[in-house]
């Protein structure tokens, strides 16, 4: 985590949001989005997935996007990978971090990456082996996400024990971070508290991140519940871009702009300039005119007398 901030917010809309939008987001637009959001102070952007073009055609231009992202000062450039082939591409492209994905629910894992959860763990082991095989690869951080950790559209309830078992296997392989993902927006704050409290114990020094969707309106409530257990890393997407292929009509990730407002108004520094961040939404609106954008701050503006924690930090310096 960057120094001087209390909370690390990470933009995943460019990957999680765009992957299910059929309209191709123009390459120049993606570059402008990365530049503007990095300039607003967002410390990490997940810029693409390394998946076959037939799985998602949004990322066929990744070789043009990644160098632009890598040129942004201080920006951690990450990408999602489902298997060794994706990770090989990631090492080649020089991303700073790769986020491996598997699902706690067997059926969801099969639908998403076409193998069992244990086979996915074996894929992760291969990726860790490749990461540790050369000094250059060793610089790359491997985050590992547990999707459907708090519920699944195919199986319904997911046993927390299954999540802990997977986390322990990931930790034994030496992952740098574990993200607990409510992929389909089934979580509630009580469940989040239960699972994150246990995950914090299991993971010890290895950071636990959260990845919430706002599918049923509980996104920020779940963020707050995770915050209270000690979680300090939160995924979100600007304007709540995206949805879920397994939940028709659903909204996307937690709205980044509203989440930054939540933290900053509570006195927690994200390092993000909210006004600059809200302005970045225009790039999405220009490139995806048919998408509905979400977010209360963008709609209502900032409250009178709003004093963000990050600005107070700069004033004190």
Interacting residue ranges for ligand COA, rule: CB under 6 A: 19, 49-52, 55-56, 80, 82-83, 85-86, 101, 112-114, 147
Give the residue at shortest CB distance from ligand COA: 86
Q: What's the min distance (Å) between Cβ of 267 and Zn ion?
A: 28
CA distance 60 to 62: 6
Which residues here bind Zn ion, judged by CB under 5 A? 16
Give the one entry of ligand COA, Zn ion, none that residue 184 binds, where binding means its C-beta sits below a cut-off of 5 to 8 angstroms depending on kind: none
Residues 30 and 18: their CA atoms lie apart, in Å, by: 10
Query: What, of ligand COA, Zn ion, none, does residue 4 touch, CB below 5 to 8 Å by kind?
Result: none
3-state SS assignment for residue 191: helix
CA distance 174 to 177: 9
Q: Coil, helix or strand for 79?
A: strand
Q: Catalytic annotation on 48?
A: no
Nearer to ligand COA, 78 or 112 (CB): 112
**Nearest residue to Zn ion, scored by beta-carbon proximity:** 16
Of 240 and 308, which CB lies nearer to Zn ion in the complex structure? 240
Contact by Cβ (8 Å): 183, 145: no
Smallest separation, CB 86 to ligand COA (Å):
3
Shortest gap between Cβ of 30 and ligand COA (angstroms)? 17
CA distance 302 to 274: 9
Residues 6 or more apart whose Cβ sits within 8 Å of residue 108: 147, 148, 152, 153, 154, 155, 183, 246
CB 52, min distance to Zn ion, A: 19
Report the nearest approach of Zn ion to the CB of residue 18 (Å): 12
CA 173/CA 181 separation, integer angstroms: 20
CB 212 within 8 A of CB 253: yes
Q: Which of 156, 163, 159 is nearest to 103 (CA)?
A: 163
| Selected catalytic residue, list 48, 152, 231, 244 | 244
- Residues catalogued as catalytic: 244
């Amino acid at each position: 985590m960057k120094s001087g901030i209390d909370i690390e917010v990470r933009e995943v809309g460019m990957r999680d949001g765009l992957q299910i939008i059929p309209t191709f987001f123009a390459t120049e637009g993606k570059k402008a989005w990365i530049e503007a959001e990095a300039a607003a102070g967002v410390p990490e952007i997940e810029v693409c997935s390394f998946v076959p073009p037939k799985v998602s055609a949004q990322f066929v231009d990744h070789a043009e996007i990644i160098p632009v992202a890598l040129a942004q000062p201080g920006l951690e450039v990450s990408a999602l990978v489902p298997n060794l082939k994706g990770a090989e591409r990631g090492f080649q492209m020089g991303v700073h971090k790769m986020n491996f994905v598997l699902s706690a629910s067997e059926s969801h894992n099969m639908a998403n990456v076409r193998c069992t959860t244990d086979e996915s763990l074996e894929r992760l082991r291969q990726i860790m082996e490749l990461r540790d095989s050369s000094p250059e690869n060793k610089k790359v951080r491997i985050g590992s996400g547990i999707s459907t950790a708090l519920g699944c559209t195919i199986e319904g309830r997911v046993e927390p024990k299954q999540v802990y078992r997977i986390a322990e296997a990931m930790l034994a392989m030496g992952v740098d971070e574990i993200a607990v993902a409510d992929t389909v927006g089934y979580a509630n704050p009580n469940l989040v508290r239960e699972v994150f409290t246990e995950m914090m114990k299991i993971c010890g020094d290895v950071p636990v991140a959260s990845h919430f969707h706002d599918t049923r309106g509980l996104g920020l409530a779940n963020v707050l519940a995770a915050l209270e257990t000690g979680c300090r890393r939160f995924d979100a997407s600007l304007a709540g871009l995206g949805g879920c292929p397994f939940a028709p009509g659903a909204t996307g990730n937690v709205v980044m702009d509203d989440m930054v407002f939540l933290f900053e108004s509570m006195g927690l520094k994200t390092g993000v300039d909210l006004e600059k961040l809200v302005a970045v939404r225009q790039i999405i609106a220009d490139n995806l005119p048919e998408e509905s954008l979400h977010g209360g701050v963008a709609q209502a503006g900032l409250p009178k007398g709003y004093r963000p924690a990050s600005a107070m930090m700069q004033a004190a310096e």
